[in-house]
Amino acid sequence: MRSTDKVLLYGEMMLLDPETKEDIHRAMLVLLSDRLLIGNITPSGKYSLESTFSLNNLAVVNVKDRESGPAVADQLLKLLVFPEQRKDQVSRIFAVAMAYFITVLPKKGIGAISLPKNVEERAKRTQLSPTTSKSVQENEEGEVMFVADQDEMAWLQELPAELDDCIAHRDLEQAVELIHEWKQCSTKDSNIDAQLKIRENQIVQLLSDDVRRPGAVHGGPRAMKKARTLLAQLGRGTYAMDLYLRRRSALQRAAVKDIAVSEEPLSYVKQLCTLFSGAVTDVASEFHSQPQYYCQVLQWCSGELSMLLSLVRRHVIEVAPAMTVLAFTWGILMKTMDELTSMGVQLTFEVHRLLGPALEAAIETNFSNIMQGVKLRMTEERWRPYVLESESALTRLVEELSDVGLNIDWTVASDSRAAVLLSPHAIHFARVAHSLARDLAPLRRSPARSACDRCTFELWNDYLRHLSSSICDSTVYAYTATFILTQVLPLCETTLYCDDESNDVLTRLLAENYPKLVPYAKDSEEEAVEEEEEVAHI
């Protein structure tokens, strides 16, 4: 250092990582009249010079770290030296004074330097005192110390007017900072405290209006972040969160009104789920790092889900749609819940609780209509071949059943070009049974599992009873019974119970209730194996 150098300010600080804000090491900042010295701590505990910066090439920024809380909101100091930067954590007044000096010195020179009033007041309230010559000293904790002769009470007496000025200019950030400093002040006066409490309530009201107003969320959920953060600093974090979530709910309801209930119920369900999933993902992502609000966020998600399911129940499920619509609706809902679960929002149990009864009732109603048609056809059964209009119609039928895994080539009549030795009612039953099994398979993962199994058992049992009571020497009957017992019901069993490890519902049903039908349940391969076993035994 030169003999003419004058130390204006110095103090210890902590160098932080610019991205993560994690501590790196301690250092010393020394501000001279024309340059800034930075020293790094050595293993011996002393500091060695690391770099020197001219004030003309240096810029300093007080970083407002509101997310870390009011206690450290003003303790980050960013030094900019193109093209690099560094962040340091220092005492509040050190950051304020350093930023002031580095900004003013290159312009006015040391002779014109005088701390502004708000810097003096902050120095005084943090036990930092400016003397007439603005000299600086260091206390036992390594913080910069100003020596001042003004009383704290004088500042308190001026604070209501200063807050009024902040409120008038809507400088709510500065107003919250002043309120925070007032609460940290050791000097108390009941009259002044009452006035300041009134100002605090006014600030809370203004911030609340910023959260409530319709335009506050333009630009996404983070548009209200500043107002919520300031409310949290005033000790109203839960209240601010409640206001924010209510506003999000109002926006959700407005968006839902724009979704028309069309003749395409699945499209309606998809649009609702997309809207709900987007909102929940948005909110959950924003507050992922704020566990103190998890309960409120989860409660809000549950409320929004309740609205979603209410609309689905009213406009889709309760209007008794086809079983396929019920199956796809449940699939869309579960896919949405799985996506939310992957990001930590588990709401599947709420879907089960809120939608289970309505879903089960819809399945029962739909199945009742299906059974009426099946029973009516069973009463009209005459065991006659199914004659089609043409060979092309027969080809289409064979291909249609082949696509789902049913083979009827062996039933084509040899004496007719467009007929199969199957009852037309049996073909209808095959279509109905397979379609029902396909739709009930995903629904068995819902709370309506017992209803699905009950419907399946009733359909199979009634048709097996019909076959058992109609045994005759008819070729059509024999082909039909074989087709139903070796292809249709086994395929339905495989489709319906695909999630179960092993299932023998059909086998038990035949053995216990319809033993007369067991011979028809053996296909040609099984019969050939049994014949070979009998021959080998003889």
pLDDT tens digits along 372-410: 999 999 999 999 999 999 999 999 999 999 999 999 999
| Helix (H), strand (E) at residue 8 | strand 7-16
Domains of the chain: residue spans and CATH: 7-117+130-146 (2.30.29.30), 221-358 (no CATH), 381-537 (no CATH)
The confidence score (pLDDT) of residue 90 equals: 54
CB 31 within 8 A of CB 10: yes
- Which carries the bigger pLDDT value, residue 250 or residue 140? 250
Q: What pLDDT does 180 receive?
A: 85
Helix axes 489-496, 505-513, angle to 10 degrees: 130
Indicate the range of 28-37, 345-354, 404-413 predicted with least confidence: 28-37
pLDDT, tens digit (0-9, with 9 covering 90-100), for 289-301:
888 888 999 999 9
Q: What is the pLDDT of residues 114-152, one digit of tens each?
A: 444 454 555 445 444 343 333 344 444 333 333 333 457
Decide which of 527 and 206 is more confident.
Answer: 206
How far is residue 136 from each of residues 10, 48, 59, 132, measured CA to CA in Å?
A: 8, 21, 22, 11
Residue type, 160: P
pLDDT band at 247; cut points 50, 70, 90: confident
Residue pair 530/522 in contact by the 8 Å Cβ criterion: yes
C-alpha dihedral sign at 495, 499, 502, 508: negative
In contact, 460 and 489? CB cutoff 8 Å: yes
Between the alpha carbon of residue 523 and those of residues 117, 298, 482, 495, 520, the distances in Å are 100, 56, 7, 20, 8
Phi then psi dihedrals of residue 191, to 5 deg: -65, -45
Reported pTM: 0.67
Dihedral angle computed from the Cα positions of residues 510, 515, 521 and 523, in that order, rounded to the nearest 10 degrees = 150
Residues 198-202 have a mean pLDDT of 90
- CA distance linking residue 423 with residue 127, whole number of Å: 99
Average pLDDT, the chain: 80
| Gap between the Cα atoms of 265 and 328, Å rounded | 10
Average pLDDT for residues 175-185, to the nearest whole number? 85
Share of the chain above pLDDT 70, in %: 76
Mean pLDDT of 220-246: 81
How many other C-beta atoms are found inside a 10 Å radius of the C-beta of residue 80? 13
Strand 7-16 and strand 137-138: pairing?
A: unpaired
Could you identify the residue written with the tokens 């069973």? 378
User: Do 54 and 34 form a contact (C-beta atoms < 8 A)?
Assistant: yes
The tokens of 501 are what? 């490890």
* Residues 224 and 287 sit within 8 Å (Cβ to Cβ): no
CB-based contact 40:47 (threshold 8 Å): yes
Polymer length in residues for the chain:
538
Which CA distances in Å does 424 have to 269, 380, 420, 468, 476?
A: 37, 11, 9, 18, 10
Measured between alpha carbons, how far is 320 from 362 in angstroms, rounded to an integer?
A: 6
Phi/psi of residue 235, nearest 5 degrees: 85, 15
Backbone angles phi, psi at 141, to 5 degrees: -90, 5
DSSP designation for 486: I
Distances (CA, A) of 221 to 251, 339, 465: 11, 20, 62
Tell me the C-alpha distance between 322 and 326, whole Å. 7
Say whether pLDDT at 229 is over 70: yes
Residue with tokens 């009742």: 368
Collapse the DSSP code of 386 into the 3-class scheme (helix H, G, I; strand E, B; otherwise coil) and give the result: strand
The predicted model gives 403-418 an average pLDDT of 89
| Residue 265 predicted with pLDDT over 50 | yes
Contact 172, 204 (CB under 8 A): no
Q: Give the SS3 label for residue 83.
A: coil
User: How is residue 422 annotated by DSSP?
Assistant: S
Question: What pLDDT shows up at residue 513?
Answer: 92
185: left (phi over 0), alpha (psi -120 to 50) or beta: beta
Cβ neighbours of residue 85 under 8 Å, at least 6 residues apart?
18, 78, 79
Output DSSP code: residue 487. Answer: I
Q: What is the pLDDT of residue 109?
A: 54
Tens digits of residue pLDDT in 324-344: 999 999 999 999 999 999 988
